[in-house]
Every structure is written in C-alpha cells, then in structure tokens.
Structure 1
C-alpha cells in the first residue's frame, strides 16, 4: 500500500518531532528569560552576561537547524516558526504557496481552518521576519498593500476576510497569487 509510511519514515518523523520539541522548549525558555534576572545573578562569578548567553544559545540553535531533518528552518528560527513546523508535522496546519508578481513564492503556514484574514496576517509576519533577517524596507503599509492588491486562487478573488480558505477550495501546497487590483474608472 503506497499510503502507509515505512518504519524508517515513521522513525525519521518521530526524531524530527523530538528535535522540534527540543528547539521549542529552548526558544520558549529564552523568551521568558529576563535580563534583570541575569543581572542579579552576576554576583556569582560563573554567571554569564545576558548577551554572551544569547550568543551561545544562537550558536546552539544554528547547529540544531543544520540537522538534515530540520534544514527547512531558518538559522535564527522563532518560536512561532517552530510551532508552525510542529503543526505541519501533525497535519494541523497547511502551507499555502503565495506567488508574488516578481516570481517569488512564499511558503506561508496557516492552520487547517484558517480564514483569508489569517492568511493575510501570516503573509505580513512572513514578510516582516524576512525583512528583519535580510535588511531592506523597514516599514510596509499593509493597508496600502491590501487596497492595491488582492489574493487570487484559480481566478477567484479572496475578497472576504471572514471566509475559510478551505471554503475557497484551498488545500495544502495550493498556490495563491498576489494580483494588482484594477482601478475603478
């Protein structure tokens, strides 16, 4: 039967889930770590300054995401990105491939019952993270973007923010296109 996974694939999947969980725990601990707490402990000669602790953590994270099972994650992965990958592994999320006019395809992860608004917000987060990592445009007026462009799936405009993507027929790995709105005369 082609639908079942081999024991090797099952093992690989559970290993990936374990590694994702490990990264998730490390990132959430980092996010809750307060610099003030570190300063209080600095009287202890072994305590590291917060910046050094962050550097060590980032190095460890970079090593973890170089693992062949996790190589689809960015080096400075965020907790949200790890959670998205975990949701994908469990089938609780899907990837919508959003195509821009310049040919770039953005893999946007949303929950299975996401609405058009959820997709728009996920696109915004994806673009903001990308800009932080690559530099470039610092601020994008998303109100302007959504007034100027709409999302289109198989010729159908996704013009109602409240409608679920699956009600438009959008499934995992489907392509949605950014299209310029026609000016009303």
Structure 2
C-alpha cells in the first residue's frame, strides 16, 4: 500500500512539474510576443503620417473622391451608403446661395435632416477654423426648412412623406418676424 501511495505521489509531482513547465513556456512566449510588438510600435507622429498617407490613397478612389482630405469615418460610411442606395443627398440651400449637400438615410425624418445639417456645419467650421459654438436651439427657433413651399415643421415626419427624394432642394429660410 505504501508503494502505491509513493507511486501516486511521484506521478502527482511529475504532473505538477509538467504543468509548471507549460505555464513558464506560455509566459515566455507571451513576453517574446510583447517585446516584438514593442519593437514594431511606431512613435505617435510617425503613426499619424502613415495613417494619413493611407487615408489619402483611400480618398483617391473614384467612389470617395468628393470627400475632403480630413475625412471622418461617418463621411466615408455616408458615401458608401449613397453608392448602395441606402442613403440620399438633400441639397439644403441657404439665403446666401451656399448649397450644403446633406446625406441622410432613405427613411430619415425631419429631425435626422436637422442633425445632419448640424454635423455638416460643425465639421465645416472645424476645417475652416470658424465659430467654435453655434446655438442650434436658437437656429431652429429662428429658421425653418422649406420644400416646395411647405414648411418641414414636424420633426417626426419622414422626408418621403413631404415628397423629398434624392438630390431634391430644401431651402433654409428665416421665419417671418411677429408684428
């Protein structure tokens, strides 16, 4: 019986030693992989340069050539959605003659269009170094959107319910003052 106990103890010791060796081996492999990654890591400035070069190549694609150099992921996704027919461009005309090409999904509501206008203007201001903050609450209280003489007043109503389709013009107009 003592011999069996002694053999079991020896077997247990051998198994524990093998498990410890495996743990050490796995840990060593992980450390070596981490060291390789650290060696391959670029300084932040060099990484940005590589990223911007890659982005410039992507934007040269005929599908994405209309996008600005400092393109955002949202803008790329919008262009792809347009290409697949999942989105539409609504041309928002301002009083000064500027036309803003706003991309919204096919099932967009008026509120979605307003939010897309806000994002478009904020990105434009960032790129041009313009005004830092716009009170959109004031803007929507002072201006409204008009399509074919009809005001887009109900934020929950779909653009298609107003008859707005791809490449239609919506006018950004000042609300008449109260007398």
Indicate whether the TM-score tops 0.5.
Answer: yes
What's the CA shift for 1:170?
Answer: 0.3
Between the aligned partners of 1:122 and 1:55, the Cα distance in structure 2 is 30
Between the aligned partners of 1:56 and 1:41, the Cα distance in structure 2 is 22
Between the aligned partners of 1:90 and 1:139, the Cα distance in structure 2 is 34
What's the CA shift for 1:67?
Answer: 3.5
In the superposition, relative to structure 1, how do residues 51 and 96 fare at CA in structure 2: closer, same or farther (>3 Å)? same
What's the CA shift for 1:47?
Answer: 1.5
What's the CA shift for 1:59?
Answer: 2.1
In the superposition, relative to structure 1, how do residues 153 and 120 fare at CA in structure 2: closer, same or farther (>3 Å)? same
**Aligned ranges 1:18-37 → 2 under 5 Å:** none
Larger radius of gyration: 2
**Aligned ranges 1:152-167 → 2 under 5 Å:** 152-167=146-161
More displaced stretch, 60-69 vs 102-111:
60-69
Q: Which residue of structure 2 aligns with residue 18 of structure 1?
A: none
Q: Which runs of 4+ in 1 moved over 3 A?
A: 40-43
In the superposition, relative to structure 1, how do residues 68 and 113 fare at CA in structure 2: closer, same or farther (>3 Å)? closer
The question of 1:173 aligning with 2:167 is answered yes
- What is the root-mean-square deviation in Å for CA atoms of aligned residues? 1.8
What's the CA shift for 1:162?
Answer: 0.5
More displaced stretch, 44-53 vs 69-78:
44-53
Q: Say which of 94, 97, 112 aligns to 1:118.
A: 112
Query: TM-score if structure 1 supplies the norm length?
Result: 0.74
The answer to whether the Cα contact below 8 Å between 1:42 and 1:48 also exists between their aligned partners in 2 is no
Q: Identify unmatched segments of 5+ residues in structure 1.
A: 1-39
In the superposition, relative to structure 1, how do residues 55 and 163 fare at CA in structure 2: closer, same or farther (>3 Å)? same
In the superposition, relative to structure 1, how do residues 78 and 42 fare at CA in structure 2: closer, same or farther (>3 Å)? farther
Give secondary structure in 2 for the equivalent of 1:44: helix
Query: TM-score if structure 2 supplies the norm length?
Result: 0.76
Between the aligned partners of 2:62 and 2:90, the Cα distance in structure 1 is 23
From the two aligned structures, give the one with the greater helix fraction: 2
Aligned residues: 146
Q: Which residue of structure 2 aligns with residue 34 of structure 1?
A: none
Between the aligned partners of 2:146 and 2:88, the Cα distance in structure 1 is 17
The question of 1:76 aligning with 2:70 is answered yes
The question of 1:97 aligning with 2:91 is answered yes
